[in-house]
Amino acid sequence: MSAPSALRTPWLPKLVVAPSFVLALVFIYGFIAWNGYLSLSASRLLPNYTFAGFEQYVNLFESDRFRVALKNMLVFGGLFIGGAMALGLMLAILLDQKIRAEGLLRTIYLYPMAISFIVTGTAWKWMLNPGLGLEHLMHQWGFESFSFDWLVNPEKAIYCVAIAGIWQSAGFVMALFLAGLRGIDESIIKAAQVDGASQPRIYWRILIPSLRPVFFSTLMVVSHLAIKSFDLVMALTAGGPGYATDLPATFMYAMSFTRGQLGLGAASATVMLATVAAIVVPYLYSELRAKK
């Protein structure tokens, strides 16, 4: 078909996109709506469409396990988001110095993001296991008093999840910040150097403030990863010891598929969706408003 003929059939692009649009409408937004209704129903082991109001939400926030999951989300989310962004920015500044073997280092830093969170969780589970990993290695080297039992300590196990998450995501954050740094006009840097500004001052006063859009975009991505974290926790701690490392996603899975509390799990999923929306929607609104 010639180009003029293609222009005379404006329905053709719509026809091509229509199946994907319909599938997304049904399997994403349709199931979101269905989950929202289940959270307002009396569902337990199987769906029960009897309307129960906000009973599931009342039971959800009265659950000690869910309160532990929310507390863990605050701890894990703060450490994961802050640690990944701080470490990623430091690595990006390091690579921005045009050092030797930059390509090799960039590949090494990005490698963890190429593997799944299941693999990351399994690897860190071996490394942090007191009988197999770091503690066992130090004992073999003669440091008998060395102890690192965070993985089996209910008070500290959530920090192991944060460490593994930061290790995997810092390289991705580095790539975003490095792209932002390389996109800044070099004439600005040269002008600052002519004025006698030192390299740290240039980064602190000029380059890092120029990365504000990158900061917001990275914050959105990393926050989304933190809120929906499931596979990393299941591979590393399975939510234990007990439910000391439960997050809302693992709580939802446990309630829906192992405890026969489908309505309660749906309520937890809806709370997670509302949390993501509370972060993403204001950002999208500000971006669209700025473009207008």
| pLDDT of res. 172 | 92
- Which distant-in-sequence residues (6+ apart) come within 8 Å of 252 by Cβ? 265, 268, 269, 272
89 vs 97, 138, 175, 212, 250, CA distance in Å? Answer: 13, 31, 9, 12, 30
Band of pLDDT at residue 256, cut at 50, 70 and 90 = confident
Per residue in 96-126, pLDDT tens? Answer: 887 788 888 888 888 888 888 899 999 999 9
CA distance 84 to 167: 8
Length of the chain, please? 292
Predicted confidence (pLDDT) at residue 286 exceeds the cutoff of 80: no
226 φ, ψ to 5°? -65, -45
CA distances from 246 to 168, 189, 235 (A): 20, 47, 12
The domain limits of the chain are 63-291
Q: What is the mean pLDDT of residues 184-206?
A: 85
pTM, rounded to two decimals: 0.86
The structure tokens listed for 105 are 């280092």
Q: How is residue 83 written in tokens?
A: 């640690």
3-state DSSP of the chain: CCHHHHHCCCHHHHHHHHHHHHHHHHHHHHHHHHHHHHCCECCCCCCCCCECCCHHHHHHHHCHHHHHHHHHHHHHHHHHHHHHHHHHHHHHHHHCCCCCCHHHHHHHHHHHHHCCHHHHHHHHHHHHCCCCCHHHHHHHCCCCCCCCCHHHCCCCHHHHHHHHHHHHHHHHHHHHHHHHHHCCCHHHHHHHHHCCCCHHHHHHHHHHHHCHHHHHHHHHHHHHHHHCCCHHHHHHCCCCCCCCCCCHHHHHHHHHHHCCCHHHHHHHHHHHHHHHHHHHHHHHHHHHHHHC
Kindly tell me if the per-residue pLDDT of 2 is higher than 80.
Answer: no
Query: Looking up tokens 């490392």, which residue turns up?
Result: 245
Range 174-180 average pLDDT? 92
Q: Are 171 and 92 in contact (CB under 8 A)?
A: no
pLDDT of residue 271: 92
Averaged pLDDT for residues 186-197: 84
The Cβ of residue 77 has, within 10 Å, a number of other Cβ atoms equal to 20
Hey, what amino acid is at 180? G
Confidence of residue 224 (pLDDT cuts 50, 70, 90): confident
Question: Residue 50 and residue 264: Cα distance in Å, rounded?
Answer: 14
CATH topology classification for 63-291: MetI-like fold (1.10.3720)
